[in-house]
Chain A
Amino acid sequence: MSNMSQATATETTSEGVIESVSGPVVTAIDLDARMNDVVYVGEEGLMGEVIEIERNLVTIQVYEETSDVAPGEPVENTGEPLTVDLGPGMLDSIYDGVQRPLDVLEEQMGAFLDRGVDAPGIDLEKTWEFDPDVEEGDEVESGDVVGIVPETESIDHKVLVPPGYEGGEVVDVNSGALTVTDTVVELDNGEEIQMRQEWPVREPRPTVEKETPTTPLVSGQRILDGLFPIAKGGTAAIPGPFGSGKTVTQHQLAKWADADIVVYVGCGERGNEMTEVIEDFPELEDPKTGKPLMSRTSLIANTSNMPVAARESCVYTGITIAEYYRDMGYDVALMADSTSRWAEAMREISSRLEEMPGEEGYPAYLAARLSEFYERAGKFKNINGTEGSISVIGAVSPPGGDFSEPVTQNTLRIVKCFWALDADLAERRHFPSINWTESYSLYKDQLDPWWRENVDEEYPEYRQWAVDVLDEEGELQEIVQLVGKDALPEDQQLTLEVARYIREGWLQQNAFHDVDTYCEPEKTYLMLTAIRTFSDEAFAALEAGVPVEEAIDIEAAPRLNRINTQEDYEAYIQELKDDMTEQFRELY
C-alpha cells in the first residue's frame, strides 16, 4: 500500500505525456487517472481508455488508429469512465464500438473513417415530443417512468428517473417539443431529469432480481423454435466454422424474433454484412406489428478493420443499450456476431500489455469476462416494478472449426442453448446447418407449457417423436455405410424415408425465400403433423403387406418437402394429409 501512495504522490495532473506507442496501446506518464477513465491521446485527441496503472505509468488502449502519434504528445484525462448516452434516438441508429453514430461520422468525414472525430451518441439538438406521466406533487423514485416519448413508429420511449437518483417530490414538469438535454422534470431535492442519461458500459444497470423465463423468444426458425428453443431472457451460443451460417442465423433472429427491441452488435466482422442490415431492415416489416424492422433496432458496427480496442468495448456498449430498454419493461434481444472477435481483441490488448497468457494466448480473465457479459442477460424484475428481459445470442468462431478451443468451451459453460453449426451440412446446402444431434436447449421443459397452451397440447409429444426418428436414422446410417440401404429390413428403410422428410421438409429452411424465411409456431407444428401422418399411414401399409418401395412412392409424398414455401399452409397441409391417406389406403 505504501508504495502505491508513493506512486500517486509523484506529480500527476489530468494532463500527462505520452511515453510510448505500440499499435493500439499507448503509455503515458504523469497522468492522474483511475482504471477505465476515458482519456484523449495526442495532438489529435484520439479517444482511449485507461487499462493499467503501474506507479507513474498509465497504459491506455486507444479506440482509433495511432499512426504518427509520438512520445511527448499530451494525454488528457476526462476523469469519466467509458459511458454511453442513453435516450431517444438510439433506435434506427448505427454506432461504432464506442457509440459514435456512423451516419454522423460519414457526414463529417466522408466515406472513409478518419480519426480524431467525435460525435455524441444521441443528437443533442433534435427535439422530441415529451408527454409527462407525472404531475407536480407526485413522489418518484429512481427507475420510475416520468414520461413518454414516441421514439419510432413501433416504440414508445419511457423516460426514467436515472438509477442512483435519490428521488422525491416533483416540483416542476415540462412537456412538448424538448431536446434531450432539456430538463423535463425537477424534484424538490434539486435533482433534474432529462431525456438523456449516461451510464458506464462496464457496469450492469441495477435491477431487483432475476426471474425464471417461461416464454419462448419465437424466432420463426423451425429448428430453433421446434427443437432448441430459447427463452425470452435466455442465452444461446452459435459456434461454427467459417461459412456455416452464423451470421445468416443472427440476421434471421434480428429480423423475425418476437422481441420488442433488437440490439445487433457486429463485432469484428464484415463491413458488407452491416451494410446489408442497413439496406434491408428498413424495407422489412415486423410480422407482428407490420412496422418497419429498423424502427425497433439499434445497430453497433465495429467491423474487423476498425480499431481493435473499440471492438473490445462494442459488446458492452450494446448490452448497456439493451439494459436501458429492459428497464422500460421491454423484451430485448441482443445478437453479438462474433464473440470470438471480442475475445481476440482482449487477447491482442493483453499481449501488448505483456500479461501472463492463459490458454492459447487468451488472458486468464477470459472466462470471467464472458460470464460477466452473459450474466447481464435474463428475465428481470426492474427497479420500477416492471418486468423486462434481455436475450443474448452470441456467435462463436472457433479457429479451424474446432469446438474444444477456449472461447467455445468457456461460452458453453455459461449459455443454455447450444446451436452447433456443421460444415458438412453447409456443404450440401442443408440450411440452417444446425446439427440436430449436437445441439441442445436447456429451456425446453420450462417452455413446454407455453407450446401446449399457445400452439397445441400435443406439440411436445410430436417433437419427441421427431427427435426419436432422427436419432434412429443416425444409428441406421452407420449400418447403411457398411452394407447399403437395400440390405436393411423394410421398416428401417421406411424410418430412413420418414427421417429424410423431417430433415428436408421440416428442418431445412431457406432464409432467402420470401415465405420460408419466417415460419410461425403453428406452421412449425402442423408441418410436423403432416410428416407424422405420412409415417403412421406408411407403417400401417407396411403392416398390411405393402412393399416398402410402393409405400414410399405414393404420389403425394414429395409434397411434404413443399409445405415450407406455402403461404396458405393450413389448406395445403389438410389436402396433403387427405391425399396421402387416400393413396395409402388404395395400396391395400
Chain B
Amino acid sequence: MQKEYKTITEISGPLVFAEVDEPVGYNEIVEIETPNGEVRRGQVLESTSEYVAIQVFEGTSGIDRNSSVRFLGETLQMPLTEDLLGRVMSGAGDPIDGGPDIEPEEEREIVGAAINPTAREYPQEFIQTGVSAIDGMNTLIRGQKLPIFSGSGLPHNDLALQIARQATVPEEDGADGGETEFAVIFGAMGITAEEANEFMDDFERTGALERSVVFMNLADDPAVERTVTPRLVLTTAEYLAFDKGYHVLVILTDMTNYCEALREIGAAREEVPGRRGYPGYMYTDLATLYERAGRIEGREGSVTQLPILTMPGDDDTHPIPDLTGYITEGQIYIDRDLNSQGIEPPVNVLPSLSRLMDDGIGEGFTREDHADLSDQLYAAYAEGEDLRDLVNIVGREALSERDNKYLDFADDFESEFVQQGHDTNRGIEETLDIGWELVSQLPKEELNRIDEELIEKYYVEGQAEQVTAD
C-alpha cells in the first residue's frame, strides 16, 4: 500500500495531521515529501478512519499543506547484522561514516517486545569496572541497568568511558583467568559535537570502535528523532546479545534530552500533562527502554545498560531521574561537591545503589567479606558525613574521640577509596583491601556490620592507634 495523499490539514509543532480514505496502522512509518523534494520520515501516533496524526522525526519546518504523504505499510524496522560492529550511524539509523551500505541479515521492529519474566535469568555475574566506588560499593552486574545520575558540567562521560574501557568479567571456566570484553553500543541523544568527539576519540584511541556500534543524534539534530535513537540502539543490542552471543554494554546519553523530546510531542498533542509538564505515560515509556536489559535463560549474551542523565538543577526528585530510579536497578550519583574537591571519579556512594549487588558478590563471585565490608563502609561513611555538619558548629574539640575517628574515616574514604583517577584500573581485591585499611581505623567493636570471623581474618591491626596518634 503506497498510496500518496495531498491531504494535510494541520501542522503543529512536530505533528502533521492528514485526512485518509484507507485504513492506516497505528505506529506505521510515513514519508512526507515537501514541495522542494525533501523527504521526511515520521510515525503514526493516532489513526482513525478519517485522519491520522503523524509525528515527524526530522521536524516539520518546510512542510506545507501541499506536501505529499505516503504510508509505508510497516512499522519502523532496524536492519541487523554483525557487520554493524565498527559502524557509525545517525540517530535515525543511517550510516554516516562513509562506509558501505548495511546489508542486513534481518530487520526487526524497533519497538521491541517485553522479555517474558519466566524466560529471564536472574543476573548474577560480577563486572569488574576497576572503579572502587562501583565495584566495592555499588557492584555492576552483567545484565543490569544502572544509570549515572549527574548534572551539567560534571565528568559523567569520563566515568562512562572509564567503565567502557575497563569493564571485564572474570570468567570461571577460563582457568587461566580469561576475561570477556564487551561490545559497546553507544547512543547519543542531543549531546554536543564536542561531547560526541570525546567519546569517538576515546573509542578510536583504544581500538574499542571495532567492537562498537555508534548512533549519533547531536544537539542540532532533530529532537523528535531522539525518541527513535534509543530504540535502534536497543534493538541492535538485543540482536547482538541474544542472537549472536555478545555481552553488550549499552551507553545512552543524555536521557534528559530524550525525555524533553517526549514532552515536546506530548505538548503538541495537547495531552493532559503529568508532573512538571512531562507526559503521564513517561514512566511506561522509559520502562520500555530500560527493561530491555538483562539475561535470557539458555542464551549466551547479555545486555547491560549504562544510561546517563543530567538532573535539571541537580534535583533528583525531578521526574526524569525520579522515574528512572523507579525503573532501573540502582543508580550512581556524580556529585558536584566531590568534583570541586578534585575527587576523581566524584561518585557519591551514599545515595548510589546497585540492587543486583547482593546476589552477585561474596564467595565464588568476588570475596567472602565483600557484602559485610561494604555495609560497614556505608554505615561508617554516613556517620562521618553526619558529624561534618556538627563539627562546623561545635568544632572538633567538642567531639568525642569516637566521633573524631568517624570524621577522619569519612575524609579518608573520599580521598583514598573513591579517589583513584580516571585512568586507574583497580582490581576487586585491591578495592576491598583499601576498604579494610579504612575500616580498621575504627575500633573492632565498632564494626558491627561485619561477621566476627571476617574481622579476625581481615582487620588491619595498628591502624586505629595510628590515627588517634596524629
Can you list 7 A-B pairs, Cβ within 8 angstroms, ordered by A?
Answer: A22-B45, A111-B119, A111-B242, A112-B114, A271-B114, A304-B284, A305-B288
B25 within 8 A of A: yes
Beyond A270-B327, A271-B294, is A112–B284 a contact (Cβ under 8 Å)?
A: no
The distance from the CB of A359 to the nearest CB of chain B, in whole angstroms, is: 12
Kindly list chain A residues whose C-beta atoms are within 8 Å of the C-beta of B75: 67-68
Which of chain A's residues has its CB closest to B20's CB?
A71
A204 within 8 A of B: no
Which of chain A's residues has its CB closest to B452's CB?
A562
A72 and B49 form a contact (CB under 8 A):
yes
Kindly list chain A residues whose C-beta atoms are within 8 Å of the C-beta of B356: 272
What 0/1 pattern do residues 45 to 85 of A give for CB contact below 8 A with B? 00000000000000000000111111111000000000000
Central interface residue in B49, B292, B326, B398, by most chain A CB within 10 Å: B326
What 0/1 pattern do residues 395 to 427 of B give for CB contact below 8 A with A? 000111001000000000000000000000000
Kindly list chain B residues whose C-beta atoms are within 8 Å of the C-beta of A348: 280-281, 284
Which of chain A's residues has its CB closest to B356's CB?
A272
Segment touching B, from A159-167, A194-202, A480-488: A480-488
In the assembled complex, the Cα of A71 lies from the Cα of B399 at a distance in Å of: 74
Kindly list chain B residues whose C-beta atoms are within 8 Å of the C-beta of A354: 272
Kindly list chain A residues whose C-beta atoms are within 8 Å of the C-beta of B371: 512
Kindly list chain B residues whose C-beta atoms are within 8 Å of the C-beta of A399: 275, 317, 319, 322-323
Beyond A22-B26, A67-B25, A68-B27, is A357–B47 a contact (Cβ under 8 Å)?
A: no
Central interface residue in B122, B329, B398, by most chain A CB within 10 Å: B122
B382 within 8 A of A: yes
What 0/1 pattern do residues 283 to 319 of B give for CB contact below 8 A with A? 1100110011010110100000000000000000111
Of the candidates A400, A480, A504, the one whose C-beta lies within 8 Å of that of B448 is: A504
B329 and A272 form a contact (CB under 8 A):
yes
B242 and A71 form a contact (CB under 8 A):
no
B287 and A304 form a contact (CB under 8 A):
yes
B445 within 8 A of A: yes
What 0/1 pattern do residues 320 to 341 of B give for CB contact below 8 A with A? 0011011101110000000000
The distance from the CB of B77 to the nearest CB of chain A, in whole angstroms, is: 11
Nearest first, the 9 closest Cβ-Cβ pairs linking A and B are A400-B317, A304-B287, A428-B382, A20-B48, A242-B325, A111-B119, A72-B23, A70-B23, A305-B291
B403 and A73 form a contact (CB under 8 A):
no
Given contacts A303-B291, A397-B326, A429-B449, 17 further A-B contacts (CB under 8 A): A20-B46, A70-B23, A70-B24, A70-B47, A71-B47, A103-B118, A111-B115, A113-B116, A268-B284, A278-B117, A303-B287, A351-B280, A360-B275, A429-B378, A429-B382, A484-B403, A486-B399
B117 and A347 form a contact (CB under 8 A):
no
A71 and B117 form a contact (CB under 8 A):
no
B121 and A271 form a contact (CB under 8 A):
no
Central interface residue in B45, B242, B272, B378, by most chain A CB within 10 Å: B272
B355 within 8 A of A: yes
What 0/1 pattern do residues 262 to 284 of A give for CB contact below 8 A with B? 00001010111011101100000
Interface members, chain B 2-28 (any A CB < 8 Å): 22-28
Kindly list chain B residues whose C-beta atoms are within 8 Å of the C-beta of A268: 283-284, 287
Kindly list chain A residues whose C-beta atoms are within 8 Å of the C-beta of B115: 111-113, 271
A558 and B47 form a contact (CB under 8 A):
no
In the assembled complex, the Cα of A484 lies from the Cα of B402 at a distance in Å of: 12
Kindly list chain B residues whose C-beta atoms are within 8 Å of the C-beta of A152: none
Beyond A71-B49, A402-B317, A429-B382, is A272–B448 a contact (Cβ under 8 Å)?
A: no
Kindly list chain B residues whose C-beta atoms are within 8 Å of the C-beta of A401: 317, 322
The distance from the CB of A145 to the nearest CB of chain B, in whole angstroms, is: 33
Kindly list chain A residues whose C-beta atoms are within 8 Å of the C-beta of B284: 268, 304-305, 308, 344, 348
Number of residues of chain A lying within 8 A (CB) of chain B: 80
Of the candidates A275, A308, A351, A481, the one whose C-beta lies within 8 Å of that of B121 is: A275
A276 and B379 form a contact (CB under 8 A):
no
In the assembled complex, the Cα of A357 lies from the Cα of B119 at a distance in Å of: 38
Kindly list chain A residues whose C-beta atoms are within 8 Å of the C-beta of B288: 304-305
In the assembled complex, the Cα of A351 lies from the Cα of B274 at a distance in Å of: 10
What 0/1 pattern do residues 87 to 121 of B give for CB contact below 8 A with A? 00000000000000000000001010111111111
A484 and B399 form a contact (CB under 8 A):
yes
Of the candidates B118, B120, B271, B327, the one whose C-beta lies within 8 Å of that of A304 is: B327
A-to-B contact residues, CB < 8 Å:
18-23, 27, 65-73, 94, 102-103, 105-106, 110-115, 241-243, 266, 268, 270-272, 274-276, 278-279, 301, 303-306, 308, 341, 344, 347-348, 351, 354, 357, 360-361, 397, 399-402, 423, 426-430, 480-487, 504, 512, 558, 561-562, 565
In the assembled complex, the Cα of A242 lies from the Cα of B281 at a distance in Å of: 18
Of the candidates B23, B274, B283, the one whose C-beta lies within 8 Å of that of A71 is: B23
**Number of inter-chain CB pairs below 8 Å:** 225
Kindly list chain A residues whose C-beta atoms are within 8 Å of the C-beta of B325: 241-243
In the assembled complex, the Cα of A102 lies from the Cα of B297 at a distance in Å of: 15
The distance from the CB of A255 to the nearest CB of chain B, in whole angstroms, is: 15
Of the candidates B375, B382, B451, the one whose C-beta lies within 8 Å of that of A427 is: B382
A428 and B280 form a contact (CB under 8 A):
no
Kindly list chain A residues whose C-beta atoms are within 8 Å of the C-beta of B46: 20-22
The distance from the CB of A121 to the nearest CB of chain B, in whole angstroms, is: 15
Which of chain B's residues has its CB closest to A483's CB?
B394
The distance from the CB of B238 to the nearest CB of chain A, in whole angstroms, is: 9
Central interface residue in A69, A71, A354, A481, by most chain B CB within 10 Å: A71
In the assembled complex, the Cα of A266 lies from the Cα of B45 at a distance in Å of: 29
The distance from the CB of B314 to the nearest CB of chain A, in whole angstroms, is: 14
B353 within 8 A of A: yes
The distance from the CB of A79 to the nearest CB of chain B, in whole angstroms, is: 25
Kindly list chain A residues whose C-beta atoms are within 8 Å of the C-beta of B275: 360, 399-400
In the assembled complex, the Cα of A72 lies from the Cα of B24 at a distance in Å of: 9
Of the candidates A106, A308, A402, A487, the one whose C-beta lies within 8 Å of that of B118 is: A106
A243 and B355 form a contact (CB under 8 A):
yes
Of the candidates B27, B118, B120, B358, the one whose C-beta lies within 8 Å of that of A272 is: B120
The distance from the CB of B20 to the nearest CB of chain A, in whole angstroms, is: 9
A67 and B327 form a contact (CB under 8 A):
no
In the assembled complex, the Cα of A69 lies from the Cα of B393 at a distance in Å of: 66
B351 within 8 A of A: yes
B329 and A270 form a contact (CB under 8 A):
yes
Kindly list chain A residues whose C-beta atoms are within 8 Å of the C-beta of B323: 399
The distance from the CB of A250 to the nearest CB of chain B, in whole angstroms, is: 14
Central interface residue in B299, B319, B327, B356, by most chain A CB within 10 Å: B327
A429 and B375 form a contact (CB under 8 A):
yes
Kindly list chain B residues whose C-beta atoms are within 8 Å of the C-beta of A275: 117-118, 120-122
Beyond A71-B48, A399-B319, A429-B378, is A484–B272 a contact (Cβ under 8 Å)?
A: no
Beyond A69-B25, A111-B296, A504-B448, is A428–B120 a contact (Cβ under 8 Å)?
A: no
In the assembled complex, the Cα of A73 lies from the Cα of B323 at a distance in Å of: 36
B383 within 8 A of A: yes
B123 within 8 A of A: yes
The distance from the CB of A576 to the nearest CB of chain B, in whole angstroms, is: 14
